[in-house]
Amino acid sequence: MDGKRPHKKHFHEEYHERHHEKHSEENNDNDKNKEELVYNLEKCVFCGICGEICKKGAIVVDQINRTWDLTKSLCVKCGHCIRKCKVGALEFT
């Protein structure tokens, strides 16, 4: 009997820890939502790779007119474009 009590207490502690973890995850998600993809006009060479890699079609690069455009509502913040940009023109802020 005595052996079960500490175990039960431990279960409760674990429950609270899990609850706390869930809260932390939610907070992290909120932080992620604040991040925004930004591009550096001075670094960009308009290669178009980021536009090709983005499966959401959030980035449109016009290589002829040298323009870069992001549709924020389509971006899921996966970061693929950032990793593929060879000149480091993209980042989350």
Identify the residue among 10, 56, 69, 73 touching ligand SF4 (CB under 6 A).
Answer: 56
* Distance of alpha carbon 80 from alpha carbon 85, whole angstroms: 9
Q: Is 91 in the site for ligand SF4 (CB under 6 A)?
A: no
Does residue 9 sit in helix, strand or coil? helix
Interface with ligand SF4, residue 60, by CB under 6 A: no
Q: Which of residues 65-84 bind ligand SF4 (CB under 6 A)?
A: 68, 75-81
Tell me how far apart the 2 most distant CA atoms of the chain are, in Å.
78
Q: What are phi and psi of 92, to 5 degrees?
A: -95, 140
Of the pair 16, 66, the CB lying nearest ligand SF4 is at: 66
Sign of CA dihedral 75, 80, 85, 91: positive
Contacting residues toward ligand SF4, per CB under 6 A: 37, 39, 44-50, 53-54, 56, 58-59, 61, 68, 75-81, 85, 87, 89-90
